[in-house]
Structure 1
Amino acid sequence: MSADLPAYQCASCGRSHVPAAGRWRCDCGGLLDLPPRPISWNPRPADHTLWRYQDAIAVPGRAFSLGEGMTPLVRAAADGTDRTLLKVEYASPTGSFKDRGAVMLVALARLLGARRLVADSSGNAGTAVAAYAARAGLAAEIFVPAGTSEKKVQQIRGHGAEVTAVPGSREDTARAAAARVAETAAFYASHVYNPYFYEGTKTYALEIFEQLGQAAPATLVLPAGNGTLVIGAYLGFAGLRSAGLIDRLPRIVAVQAERCAPVARAFAAGRAETVPVEPAPTVAEGIAIGAPARGARMLEIVRATGGTVVTVAEAEVTAARAALARRGFWVEPTGAVAYAAARRLRVPGSPYAEGELVVPLCGSGLKAPG
């Protein structure tokens, strides 16, 4: 079946690799990508999941589903006067946008004959991988940082996955997971390292394009931790442009927590690479990534689209979460990060004050304490 899958391509040395259950990085240590390709636009009207875009997804066949995708796109203001649009990603089966990528990784693992999965996560990706592994009948072990929300840990365990809590940073958690993969030859269902994850998150862009009447918004405001939604959304709109379906890319604004902002620091300094930072405690635990493996890619994307990188303070996130709740949306703190930035970007005189601006509500408030 691997012959039907696009080959991995190393971002560092350019070497190609046939997808295999044990392959998650190049022999040189470089990150793996998939070659860019235009979108084949042929939505399947009878399918109300992200698999309606099956012809645009590199994973062949509609392997299985929990009903992921096709999340609502609604105006922030109930009277419809606000051109800020909210993509309600917490309506996904496990309560976060990570379902989009997790279904691809687990489908890929099945195609490659894997029997056991390992993933590392600050919570949402882990719950998504655990749920889809359960759906596929595969064993899963999820590594999380010690201190991860107990509700997320309960959800992972509820899906039948083994949970390993790792003291230290988010990067320590990733290293522990990689070590387990090396020990056991499990499939590494990494939303950071496996580029097939972005085959799922790019459907975020395809849905917006379809929901806006086959048009691109002026701006996407996206939370940026490891960059899975930044990269996926960019790939989706870039593929639409390559296919001649749109003539411009939306500006991408990447948002980080003030207390953990390596991408923002690098962008402000004009650097092409991020420098690791020591994360301080933040309510936005889902994006507290001090050393994002694909930080350079995020910087490249933001600059290519004419966007920017901004940070939000803890008080802004808390206020944005409360403001969303008063409008009927209950999100976890990380899920309010992009909306916090959007409220500031929409002030008169801002270059982002005009045009459609789309914000994801990434994770359900039911996952967070308080």
Structure 2
Amino acid sequence: MIAGYRCPRDGRTSPAADLNWHCPDCGSPWDLDHSAGRVDQDQLASRPASLWRYAEALPLNDPSISLGEGFTPMVALDERVSAKLDFLMPTLSFKDRGAAMLIEAANRLRPERVIADSSGNAGTAVAAYAARAGLSCTIYVPATTSAKKIEQVRAHGAEVMIIDGDRETTARAAQWGADQPGTFYASHVYNPYFLHGTKTYGYELWESYGGRLPEVIALPVGNGTLVLGVALAIEELVDHGLLDRRPRLVAVQTEVVAPLARAHREGLIELPAGYATSAETIAEGIAIADPARAPQILAAIERSGGDIVTVADAEVAAAQQDLAARGLYVEATAGACWAAVRHAERAETDEDQLGWQLLADQEVVVPLCGAGLKSGLASVQT
């Protein structure tokens, strides 16, 4: 038996074996019906250097398909800002955290097929771990997805379905497939096992900082899987008496696709119908016009006392170049948080917005969450 699902809106439950990918009553993404145990910090030094070292907190243990994911290094970018190098994962992005947990669950259920939709990184991670598990896999991607990411998905043996249209159109196509019998929808958005993988980012920070967390954790946000994973880790650490001060979460979106930043600024707790529109941005990994978990993301930012800021594509491209000059070759989306820090440090920023204040003078960690080899250096037409 593996942990089943619970709807965060109406409390309905469903066994994981039923392969329901969302609540049939309200359509909400599931939460996991699981209570994390307390991690014993004194025991960690003797454990494997992977995300599975936090066994007490995880819904699954004794993995059969691990590729050694997690426990990524940190480096200083300046005297107060550090970067966590999640692009050094097996498939070169932080999505391996969630995919390892998600496909471990699928492997125990042994469905006829696994499908997922992605702008690239989640798709490559799911394809790799599905290959490791010997599961048939199909990945739906928008036509604008980097050719190198598509090549990587195919290299892992997955079928690629290229969809004309935006990220939301691609998701709808995959969800039609997810409704077919015997299908496990390995969605990094809808399936909560993914979030219990990404929460290990927070646990690793907590261990790296000697049982505390930095004052500010900056996180790129599109579908919010890293934001929600980190928020989940914070709640668990607080609940178990392992953390006495909550860090502030500052989420980063691009100016052209920023529904969450706008909603947060307007004091909304969810996105109204027709609220957001799609647009092209070099930060394809966070170009999500209508994130399915928007209410949870907004609540997590509010609970942390944080904020959501936006950066221009030109700033993201410049940050990517700056990181490369420092020896860190990451994709454009991975430069978004560093772009926000650089923006905050400039005198012309809006001093009234909390997010800029936090990024300008607090202890900050930014995630470098995808390798530059996946898409190359970005350029912005002027």
Query: TM-score, normalization: structure 1?
Result: 0.94
Counterpart for residue 374 of structure 2: 367
Conservation of the 8 A alpha-carbon contact between 2:39 and 2:55: no
Deviation (angstroms), 1:39: 4.6
Counterpart for residue 66 of structure 1: 67
Of 142, 161, 165 in structure 2, the residue corresponding to residue 164 of structure 1 is: 161
SS in 2 for 1:70: coil
Counterpart for residue 332 of structure 2: 333
SS in 1 for 2:61: coil
Q: Distance in 2 between matches of 1:21 and 1:357?
A: 42
Deviation (angstroms), 1:213: 1.1
Deviation (angstroms), 1:177: 0.5
Q: Distance in 2 between matches of 1:46 and 1:357?
A: 27
The alignment status of 1:32 with 2:30, answered yes or no, reads yes
The alignment status of 1:47 with 2:43, answered yes or no, reads no
Q: Deviations over 1:53-102 (max 9, x none)?
A: 1121012322321110011111113xxxx110100010000000000000
Paired letter, 2:318? A
SS in 2 for 1:156: helix
- Please list, as runs of the form range in 1=range in 2, the aligned pairs for 1:267-278 lying within 5 A after superposition: 267-275=264-272, 276-278=275-277
The alignment status of 1:151 with 2:148, answered yes or no, reads yes
> Which of 107-116 and 341-350 deviates more?
341-350
Q: Distance in 2 between matches of 1:185 and 1:235?
A: 30
The alignment status of 1:19 with 2:20, answered yes or no, reads no
Q: Distance in 2 between matches of 1:98 and 1:256?
A: 18
The alignment status of 1:294 with 2:301, answered yes or no, reads no
Q: Distance in 1 between matches of 2:168 and 2:152?
A: 22
Counterpart for residue 103 of structure 1: 100
Deviation (angstroms), 1:184: 4.6
Q: Distance in 2 between matches of 1:351 and 1:291?
A: 26
The alignment status of 1:256 with 2:253, answered yes or no, reads yes
Counterpart for residue 380 of structure 2: none
SS in 1 for 2:10: coil
Counterpart for residue 314 of structure 2: 315
> Which of 360-369 and 271-280 deviates more?
271-280
Deviation (angstroms), 1:274: 1.9
- RMSD of aligned Cα (Å): 1.5
Query: TM-score, normalization: structure 2?
Result: 0.92
Q: Distance in 2 between matches of 1:106 and 1:35?
A: 18
Q: How many residues align?
A: 363
Conservation of the 8 A alpha-carbon contact between 1:44 and 1:52: no
Conservation of the 8 A alpha-carbon contact between 1:220 and 1:252: yes
Paired letter, 1:87? K
Give ranges in structure 2 of 5+ residues lacking alignment: 352-356, 378-382
Cα distance change, pair 184–18 in 1 and its aligned pair in 2 (3 A): closer
Conservation of the 8 A alpha-carbon contact between 2:8 and 2:31: yes
Q: Distance in 2 between matches of 1:184 and 1:9?
A: 21
Cα distance change, pair 341–185 in 1 and its aligned pair in 2 (3 A): same
Conservation of the 8 A alpha-carbon contact between 1:21 and 1:186: no
Cα distance change, pair 9–171 in 1 and its aligned pair in 2 (3 A): same
Q: Distance in 2 between matches of 1:166 and 1:45?
A: 46
Cα distance change, pair 120–297 in 1 and its aligned pair in 2 (3 A): same
Q: Distance in 2 between matches of 1:68 and 1:175?
A: 30
SS in 2 for 1:54: helix
Conservation of the 8 A alpha-carbon contact between 2:21 and 2:178: no
Counterpart for residue 191 of structure 2: 194
Q: Distance in 2 between matches of 1:108 and 1:35?
A: 14
Q: Distance in 2 between matches of 1:39 and 1:353?
A: 36
Paired letter, 2:46? P
Give ranges in structure 1 of 5+ residues lacking alignment: none
